[in-house]
Structure 1
Amino acid sequence: MKRLILILGDQLSPSISSLRAADPARDVVLMAEVTAETTYVRHHKKKIVLVLAAMRHFAEELSNLGWMVDYVRLDDPDNTGSLYGEAHRALARHGATNILATEPGEWRLMEDMSAWAELLPDTRYLADRQGFVRWAEARKTLRMEHFYRLMRRKTGLLMDGDRPAEGKWNFDADNRSPPPGPLGLPEPLRTAPDTATREVLNLVKRRFPDHFGGIEPFWFATTRSGAQAAFTHFLRHGLRDFGRYQDAMLGGHGFLCHAVVSVYLNLGLLDPLDMCHAVEAEWRSGRVPINSAEGFIRQVIGWREFVRCIYWWQGPEYARRNALAAERPLPWFYWTGETSMACLRACITQTHKEAYAHHIQRLMVTGNFALLAGVNPHALHEWYLAVYADAYEWVELPNTIGMSQFADGGLLASKPYAASGAYINRMSDYCGACAYNVKARVGPGACPFNVLYWRFVATHAPRLRGNPRMAHMVRVWETFPPDHQQDVLAQADAFLAGL
């Protein structure tokens, strides 16, 4: 009995459950580039190139391992444009009896594919989703830190017996240094496109000319060996200072010491546990400090696994949460970068060019502004999903709805991540070249982040007063003289009207 093994574009792992359950002597692997997956949001051109080129290389990898691979290209004239259509065309083509697949990573595909394919659990992740639900529903509040400690014990990473290495679970307090000078900072490894990737570049140029983002230069790796080389480069050149400068932002240098390997990890080209063991080995060898190793491992086995479990636990309706009743449309400059606010201009311009910005640029610049301005969280979610090469809904949605926009009312995050211009000035060099005065709370030329921050505090004071991490700022607002409060609110409202 021949079966069709459907592999999705973010399932590029030879050990994935559907392949482990299949027989290469009998079954056929189907991989299909379909229009529906390239356009359900208007993905950055570089993301489309990355995924399609990586799929093509993975198909070759499977063929070399002895699998029979049926690969349908996007420009095949008979391509139906949907996974359902291509799966059922392939059934007839090969005389297969049924379709086997590893469960997809997004609700929209899960609801579609469960009707026509046999789905197996995706075992590439470290946390059990059902176990997480039992754990979460037994707690009054969720905190990633508590989950992270469970994952440390489960994996044994950075553990000395049952105790955390060097006596602490979390070294985040050591990871908040402002930006260094640009000299000596590493660059991520850049991989020149091979012939197969160049073919995809030309295809995307023809098919998606109006999608967001630049396409050249394209330097992401599109093979497993290339992804591993990029990670090894980070271990040798970036990991040492990764923790220290993890939250810093530097104009003209968007990468600092970040790994820039989430694009490969989320495709399936890298294994999360293998990566963490390699990082731990760098610390145990004495080559990197523990704050850098722990900070990286926490992002992978802590935060990444935590948000994935939140995504599946909360269901599709999570995307429409809007606890703060934010309804403003997304400002158009998110697509163009054309704004006088230097921090936003830098982060959006970088995103347009690289399909990448690190987590603080996303959380505390583009996300912070949207939160303060009252932008509809679902609109921001769709923007993040479209513009970043590492964005898949299971990881991006909880980060946006829960962490960045507090739209779930505090289910995921302990506080709204709202900040004035002072935070951006402390953690970046953006403000020095800005048209606005970051030190002015109100008045001509005052930083919009400042007036919007205090407007946010005033607007949501009833909710924030009960939040231990925000109550102090409500009290500070209430000490301002009434006429000063009125000036702040009037200037904030005038700025928002101009959006």
Structure 2
Amino acid sequence: MSCRRLVLVLGDQLDADAPALEGFDPAQDRVWMAEVAGESTHVWTAKPRIAVFLAAMRHFAQALAARGWTVDYLRLDAAGNPGTLGEALAQAIARLAPRELVITHPGEHRVLEMLREAARGAGLPLEVREDTHFFCSLPEFAAHARGRRQLRMEFFYREQRRRHGVLMDGDQPCGGRWNFDAENRASFGHEGPGLLVAPLRFAPDTLTQEVLDLVEARFPDHPGSLQDFSWPVTRKQAREALHDFVTHRLPEFGLWQDAMWTGEPWLNHSLLSSAMNLHLLDPREVVAAAEAAYREGRVPLASAEGFIRQVLGWREYVRGIYWMEMPGYLERNALGATQPLPAWYWTGDTAMACLRDALTQTLRHGYAHHIQRLMVTGLYALLLGVDPKQVHAWYLAVYVDAVEWVELPNTLGMSQYGDGGLMASKPYVASGKYIQRMSNACKGCRYDPARSTGEGACPFTTLYWDFLIRHEPTLKNNQRMAMQLKNVQRLDDAQRQQIAARASALRHEGAAK
């Protein structure tokens, strides 16, 4: 058995129009896909994330086979499955004897190097094709970055708006402004979010249920739950999810996109990131749907712009940063953080109400929205001083939308300031009062966000002041930190000592479990 071309399709490349599939000849070529345990164990991957990848892969393979294409598909439970992508590919090469290998550019540096090594070992050429899923190619991002002293997402975003004609009236941005972020930071107040339209969810079909059963059997000790699994795992489901968001939640998305409310995991968020990151949805159709809703008068401009900024701006920007900076980016630790990640991040077993809610939700659904990630789970790890590589491994493990190109810069750079300011112009640090303002989590919590020391002091608040004290020499020249550091200078020696002592106790106690 031999073939002309073996087309490698990874679990986050489930697009029938992917560049690797261009020129596919069913008479001469084969598609190769593989489920391997190593992709679920190189970080301690949560069950929902494993399941969403495997279920989507199996549905995609089924769709290709329905075209009459030959798909060489290695299942996780197949006899002789070697457990890693590199070894699985080496076995496939030996069996199928292709003359060349083709792949769309992977979303993870580690995977790309693994596959390149397998190709070299077999003496075969591996053609890596630019991933046209994205608005901005990697060479285009490199051109944007070239010669700039500092990279900032806002300037990149404006450039993308102009280049692609998104939310533009002629050569000017719609509404005369590029960014409506200042209008998108409201909290729900004491009354809460009110009546919410539940997002469209997808009951597992037979193929997905097989995956759920397999994941439970193969990874019983991994974190997370599959009880509520209902993520889109097909192209059809992903398109339905997009329509549901634009119709029911995008109109209210803008104003309250930063708000949180305990027991309400979805609020007005899109829930589309996993479908986009699996390539079941093209970001162009997502942006086009949001813009059309604005132009047709169905969605306020601030909501459409705020959402489009996340897709056309931030999502594209972090990918460019990832591939420009890897592999060294993974090792960055600008603040010298060395604390271990608290074990209760894997269980949600903490007395802090905001963290308990965000962690429990994450483990149950494989999901938390961006403010829960940045300003609850991420903020606490940053203030505590956790090694950013450990924080990265946790985020990569637990979220269904986690692919390293998007997760690593968001976690190590934006959330943990591990890159020293490449991704974010300052550390995103706040006390417990921020969480009190943006959510109802502090109501009834045993900790008081107004207190930094003494009985009942909020660990966020204690650690916030401790963070500023510890890193004052490093941050003193950052103009965006001037106001926060000015407040630190008002603390006398006794207050500083009390804060430091309480922060040290939190670290030794397992960080306020």
The answer to whether the superposition gives a TM-score over 0.5 is: yes
Q: Contact 1:35–1:81 (CA<8 Å) still a contact in 2?
A: yes
Deviation at 1:79, TM superposition (A): 2.0
State the partner residue of 2:155: 146
Assess if the C-alpha contact under 8 Å between 2:451 and 2:462 holds in 1.
Answer: no
SS at match of 1:309: helix
Counterpart code for 1:367: G
Ranges in structure 2 where 5+ consecutive residues have no aligned partner = 120-125
> 2 CA distance for matches of 1:374 and 1:106?
26
Aligned with residue 27 of structure 1, among 26, 29, 32: 29
In the TM superposition, structure 1's runs of 4+ consecutive aligned residues that sit over 4 Å from their partners are: none
Partner of 1:171: 180
Contact 1:18 1:101 in 2 (8 A): yes
Amino acid across the alignment from 1:399: N
Q: Distance in 2 between matches of 1:33 and 1:356?
A: 23
Within the candidate set 394, 412, 415, 1:383 is matched to 394
Mapped to 2, the partners of 1:445 and 1:79 lie a distance apart of 53
Kept in 1, the 8 Å contact 2:7–2:32? The answer is: yes
Letter in 1 for 2:187: P
- 3-state DSSP of counterpart to 1:469: helix
Q: Which residue of 2 aligns with 1:134?
A: 143
Structure 1 unpaired stretches of 5+: none
Among 40, 43, 53, the residue aligned to 1:41: 43
Give the residue type in structure 1 aligned to 2:170: G
Q: Aligned partner of 1:312: which letter?
A: W
SS in structure 2 opposite 1:71? Answer: strand
Aligned residue in 2 for 1:475: 486
The residue type paired with residue 73 of structure 1 is R
The CA distance in 2 between the partners of 1:486 and 1:86, in whole Å, is 56
Moved more, 477-486 or 242-251: 477-486
Question: 1:81 is paired with a residue of what secondary structure?
Answer: coil
Matches within 5 A, 1:47-446: 47-115=49-117, 116=119, 117-179=126-188, 181-446=192-457
The structural deviation recorded for 1:187 is: 2.1
2-structure distance, mates of 1:467, 1:388:
32
1:105 partner letter = G
- Note if contact 1:351-1:357 (Cα within 8 Å) is conserved in structure 2: yes
- Report deviation, 1:91: 3.4
Higher alpha-carbon deviation: 433-442 or 142-151: 433-442
Q: CA deviation at 1:295?
A: 0.8
Q: Who is 2:123 aligned against?
A: none
| Partner Cα separation in structure 2 for residue 167 and residue 66 of structure 1 | 51
Q: Would the alpha carbon gap of residues 494 and 83 (structure 1) be closer, same or farther in structure 2, given more than 3 Å must change?
A: closer
Q: Counterpart of 2:487 in structure 1: which amino acid?
A: V
Residues in 1 aligned to 2:157 and 2:361: alpha-carbon distance in whole angstroms: 31
| C-alpha RMSD of matched pairs (Å) | 1.3
More deviation in 13-22 or 305-314? 13-22
Cα drift, residue 203 of structure 1: 0.6
Shift of 1:465: 1.5
- Please tell me whether the aligned partners of residues 187 and 257 of structure 1 are also in contact (alpha carbons under 8 angstroms): no
Q: Give 1:26 deviation, angstroms.
A: 2.0
The amino acid of 1:79's aligned partner reads: N
Q: SS in structure 1 opposite 2:98? A: coil
> What is the distance in 2 between the residues matched to 1:378 and 1:426?
30
The amino acid across from 1:89 in the alignment is: Q
TM-score, normalization by structure 2: 0.95
C-alpha contact 2:11 2:54 (8 A) present in aligned 1 = yes
Task: String of CA shifts for 1:453-481, please: whole Å, max 9, x gaps.
Answer: 11111111112221111111111111123
Secondary structure of the 1:233 match is helix
The farther-off stretch of 375-384 and 488-497 is: 488-497
Percent identity, please.
52
Q: More deviation in 80-89 or 59-68?
A: 80-89
Whole-Å separation in 1 of the counterparts to 2:137 and 2:102: 21
> Which amino acid is the alignment partner of residue 142 of structure 1?
L
Does structure 1 conserve the Cα–Cα contact (< 8 Å) formed by 2:130 and 2:137? no
Q: Counterpart of 1:431 in 2: which secondary structure?
A: coil
1:91–1:98 contact (8 Å) kept in structure 2? no
Q: CA deviation at 1:144?
A: 0.4
Q: Aligned partner of 2:409: which letter?
A: P
Secondary structure of 1:403's match? helix
Structure 1: how far apart are the matches of 2:140 and 2:36? 34
- Encode CA deviations 1:76-134: one digit per residue, 9 max, x unaligned: 11322232333333334444322211121111111122241322121111112123223
1:184-204 C-alpha deviation (Å, 9 max, x unpaired): 112221110000001111111
**Residue 3 of structure 1: aligned partner:** 5
Secondary structure of the structure 2 residue equivalent to 1:119? strand
Counterpart of 2:12, as a letter, is D
Q: Could you tell me how far apart the structure 2 residues matched to 1:111 and 1:192 are?
A: 36
Which AA in structure 2 matches 1:264? A
TM-fit CA distance, 1:442: 2.4
Asked if residue 497 in structure 1 is aligned to residue 508 in structure 2, the reply is: yes
